[in-house]
């Protein structure tokens, strides 16, 4: 199964950190404000690696390892029969060195990744609702889930954010699905997977932000943030700049402000960003008056230049600045497969801006994702979407994918 996606290549680059230490004596006490669905969705998905939990979320490394070991099972790999995803926050809390601070940190990261509010019921409904595994679906949502599973699986399911065990169970299940109860009865599908399906179909029924938004859709109202005053027009332009400017066009911002603007509100499925107001940026960790003023000034002299994607060449040039977050590419070419022996468990290829470009990155995809096929045949171009992390390399960057990669039907 050879796959490349239509929208862009989003890569998660990991940094180092000391980690949030939990003494093991605290326990999470619950409360109506905890976004349990997002917490469980994140810790059960392939994105929740030891490195991300330790370095990006800020957990104690022992807590990070305990979480991953629990989810991946004894064989240490997702998508196998011994996977053990978390079903409740209490189960997560029971992991050594995970307690109130750790769960709060996971929630904060998950909210930033997936969004903080549920999407409202998107279409007129007959009023029929059904609840399975504590997740309530409207009739419109049920119809959309069934259509997704029966007719659009290969094209869209990898964007849903399921654990690989739930993904492959649904992939291999007999067709057609005729009820949401049948979906819920599928092996490895429970509350977390159903919640992810519901959130995804809601986002499809109510279209979300796109890389080229209608300026009239700006919700910013103007205001003063960290002593920097914006008119409504200035704030809307600043938001547009943060969502659509390329990293190479944000050079006037201080380093921290540049990273937050480019990586702080990622939409990893397509490489776009989802800033809605300048207040969101001003309230981000590490952002102050200097960064907010720089965004306002840079936005004033910026003109949108197509899609918000950089090239392999400009990313290589900015490699020392790009840490701890996603970076997006437009079209790339897989120009050379790398020897299997060099990367056990992965299929790897050199990717370039053009078939003959001198700059290249190595993209490696876990073999279990390729399902025995070649993920990157030589010469295939197109848009690529995947989450990944930085690996050290000699003379190039090596990007190891944690997500699925798809072939675009009309690739050149």
Instruction: State whether 36 and 92 are in the same domain.
Output: yes
Of 29-38, 138-147, 279-288, 352-361, the least confident: 29-38
Residue 120 is assigned to a structural domain of this protein: no
Q: What is the average pLDDT value for the chain, to the nearest integer?
A: 70
In whole angstroms, give the CA distance from residue 110 to residue 35.
9
Phi then psi dihedrals of residue 176, to 5 deg? -90, 160
Question: What pLDDT score does 14 carry?
Answer: 27
Instruction: State whether 156 and 84 are in the same domain.
Output: no
Instruction: State whether 264 and 232 are in the same domain.
Output: yes
pLDDT average, residue stretch 13-24: 30
Instruction: State whether 32 and 83 are in the same domain.
Output: yes
According to DSSP, the residues that pair with 382 across neighbouring strands are: 332
Question: What pLDDT score does 386 carry?
Answer: 40
Q: What is the DSSP letter of 158?
A: G
Q: Which of 48-52, 120-124, 344-348, 351-355 has the highest mean pLDDT?
A: 48-52
Instruction: State whether 74 and 137 are in the same domain.
Output: no
Instruction: Indicate if the pLDDT at residue 26 is higher than 50.
Output: no
Instruction: Indicate if the pLDDT at residue 205 is higher than 50.
Output: yes
Domain closes at, from 273, 300, 327: 300
Question: What pLDDT score does 230 carry?
Answer: 93
In whole angstroms, give the CA distance from residue 388 to residue 365.
9
Going from the C-alpha of 268 to that of each of 172, 204, 234, 385, the distances in angstroms are 26, 16, 27, 8
* pLDDT tens digit sequence for 120-168: 333 344 456 888 888 888 888 888 899 889 888 887 887 777 777 788 8
pTM for this model (two decimals): 0.39
Instruction: State whether 175 and 233 are in the same domain.
Output: no
Q: Residue 10 belongs to what H/E stretch?
A: strand 9-13
- Beta-carbon contacts of 317 under 8 Å, excluding residues fewer than 6 positions away, are 248
Question: What pLDDT score does 279 carry?
Answer: 92
Question: What pLDDT score does 298 carry?
Answer: 92
Residue 408 is assigned to a structural domain of this protein: no
Between 362 and 134, the higher pLDDT residue? 134
In whole angstroms, give the CA distance from residue 162 to residue 182.
17
Question: What pLDDT score does 228 carry?
Answer: 92
Residue 186 is assigned to a structural domain of this protein: yes
Residue 10 is assigned to a structural domain of this protein: no
Residue 70 is assigned to a structural domain of this protein: yes
Question: What pLDDT score does 22 carry?
Answer: 35
Instruction: State whether 91 and 170 are in the same domain.
Output: no
Domain that holds residue 371: 312-401
Question: What pLDDT score does 390 carry?
Answer: 39
Domain count of the fold of the chain: 4
Question: What pLDDT score does 18 carry?
Answer: 28
Q: Output the CA angle 149-386-75, nearest 5 degrees.
A: 80
Instruction: State whether 336 and 378 are in the same domain.
Output: yes
Domain closes at, from 247, 271, 300: 300
Residue 407 is assigned to a structural domain of this protein: no
Confidence of residue 74 (pLDDT cuts 50, 70, 90): confident
In whole angstroms, give the CA distance from residue 68 to residue 96.
12
Instruction: State whether 58 and 100 are in the same domain.
Output: yes
* pLDDT tens digit sequence for 88-106: 888 898 999 998 888 988 9
Instruction: State whether 316 and 392 are in the same domain.
Output: yes
Residue 225 is assigned to a structural domain of this protein: yes
Query: Can you give the CATH number for the domain in which 344 is found?
Result: 2.40.50
Instruction: State whether 30 and 89 are in the same domain.
Output: yes
Residue 411 is assigned to a structural domain of this protein: no
Instruction: State whether 175 and 225 are in the same domain.
Output: no
- Beta-carbon contacts of 118 under 8 Å, excluding residues fewer than 6 positions away, are 199, 202
Instruction: Indicate if the pLDDT at residue 385 is higher than 90.
Output: no
Domain closes at, from 114, 148, 179: 114
Question: HEC profile for 206-273?
Answer: CCCCCCCCCHHHCCCCCEEECCEEECHHHHHHHHHHHHHCCHHHCCCCCHHHHHHHHHCCEECCCCEE
Structure tokens at 162: 């399921």
């Amino acid at each position: 199964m050879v796959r490349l996606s239509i929208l862009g290549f989003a890569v998660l680059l990991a940094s180092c950190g000391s980690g949030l230490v939990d003494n093991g004596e605290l326990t999470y006490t619950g409360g109506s404000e905890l976004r349990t669905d997002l917490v469980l969705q994140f810790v059960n998905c392939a994105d929740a690696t030891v490195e991300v939990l330790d370095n990006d979320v800020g957990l104690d490394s022992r807590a990070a390892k305990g979480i991953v070991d629990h989810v991946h099972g004894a064989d240490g790999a997702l998508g196998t029969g011994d996977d053990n995803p978390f079903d409740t926050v209490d189960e997560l809390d029971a992991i050594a060195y995970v307690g109130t601070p750790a769960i709060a940190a996971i929630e904060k990261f998950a909210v930033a990744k997936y969004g903080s509010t549920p999407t409202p019921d998107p279409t007129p409904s007959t009023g029929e609702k059904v609840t399975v595994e504590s997740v309530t679906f409207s009739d419109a949502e049920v119809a959309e889930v069934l259509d997704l599973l029966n007719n659009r699986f290969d094209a869209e399911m990898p964007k849903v954010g399921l654990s690989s065990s739930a993904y492959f169970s649904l992939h291999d299940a007999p067709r057609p699905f005729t009820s949401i109860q049948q979906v819920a009865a599928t092996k490895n599908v429970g509350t977390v997977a159903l919640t992810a399906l519901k959130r995804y179909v809601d986002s499809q029924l109510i279209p979300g932000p796109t890389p080229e938004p209608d300026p009239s859709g700006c919700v910013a109202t103007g205001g003063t943030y960290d002593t920097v005053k914006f008119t409504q027009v200035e704030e809307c332009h600043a938001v547009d700049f943060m969502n659509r400017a390329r990293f190479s066009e944000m050079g006037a911002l201080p380093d921290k402000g540049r990273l937050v603007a480019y990586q702080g509100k990622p939409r990893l499925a397509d490489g776009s960003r989802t800033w809605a107001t300048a207040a969101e940026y001003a309230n981000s960790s590490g952002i102050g008056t200097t960064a907010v003023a720089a965004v306002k000034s840079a936005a004033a002299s910026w003109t949108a230049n197509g899609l918000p994607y950089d090239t392999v060449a400009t990313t290589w040039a900015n490699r020392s600045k790009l840490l701890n977050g996603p970076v997006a590419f437009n079209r790339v070419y897989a120009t050379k497969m790398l020897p299997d022996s060099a990367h056990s468990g992965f299929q790897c290829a050199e990717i370039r801006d053009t078939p003959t470009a001198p700059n290249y990155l190595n993209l490696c995809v876990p073999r279990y994702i390729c399902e025995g096929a070649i993920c990157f045949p030589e010469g295939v171009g197109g848009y690529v979407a995947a989450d990944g992390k930085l690996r050290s390399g000699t003379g190039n960057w090596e990007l190891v994918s944690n997500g699925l990669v798809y072939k675009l039907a009309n690739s050149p």
